[in-house]
Amino acid sequence: MFHATTILAYKGKNKSVIGGDGQVSFGNTVLKNNAVKIRKLSNGKVLAGFAGSTADAFNLFDMFEKLLSSSKGDLLKAAIDFSKEWRKDKYLRKLEAMMLVLDRDHIFLLSGTGDVVEPEDGAIAAIGSGGNYALSAARALAKHSSLDEEELVKESLQIAGEICIYTNTNIKTYVIEDDK
């Protein structure tokens, strides 16, 4: 069984940030330490990250990117259309991957069953093997520190990487800043 990744997304006051670790594991073996599981979409206005089967995730990325393009970069519309397509297609329903997508207005978790979930607080979401560790760290740091958004994501993923055996500390982040 593949255990692949921890992805954390944070929509803060000034920036939206997504980050992920670089580990891909198969059973008790690390296959790769420097995988990049996040992407900039829609000319950098949307960020996306995946957890789960890599091949399945690439299919999901491609499909989501097409829907995002056809919705002219409207993340909410693309997420809803994505869910509709996922539920209609028997092949997609068997894919073993999840995605986090965000822009400056929205953050969504797209589940392996076609659900579109907006986090309760509208600001922090995580997926993958170390997702709950990163989410817990991010919530605590958001509440009790003055870290900026990118540093909060990096530190939360660092904490997850120190706890979860399927997560490493080879962290990559992407940022969307408010237009100035």
Catalytic site includes residue 6? no
Q: Is 164 annotated as a binding residue?
A: yes
> Terminus-to-terminus CA distance in the chain, angstroms?
45
What phi and psi values does residue 154 have, to the nearest 5 degrees?
-60, -45
Known binding residue 167? Answer is yes
Q: Tokens 């198969």 correspond to what residue?
A: 26
Write down how long the chain is. Answer: 180
Q: Which member of 5, 6, 54, 173 is catalytic?
A: 5
Q: Is 54 annotated as a binding residue?
A: no
- β strands within the chain, DSSP E: 2-3, 6-11, 15-20, 24-26, 29-32, 38-41, 46-52, 97-102, 107-110, 116-117, 124-128, 172-177
Q: Which residues are annotated as a binding site for Na(+)?
A: 161, 164, 167
Q: Which residues are annotated as a binding site?
A: 161, 164, 167
Active-site residue set:
5
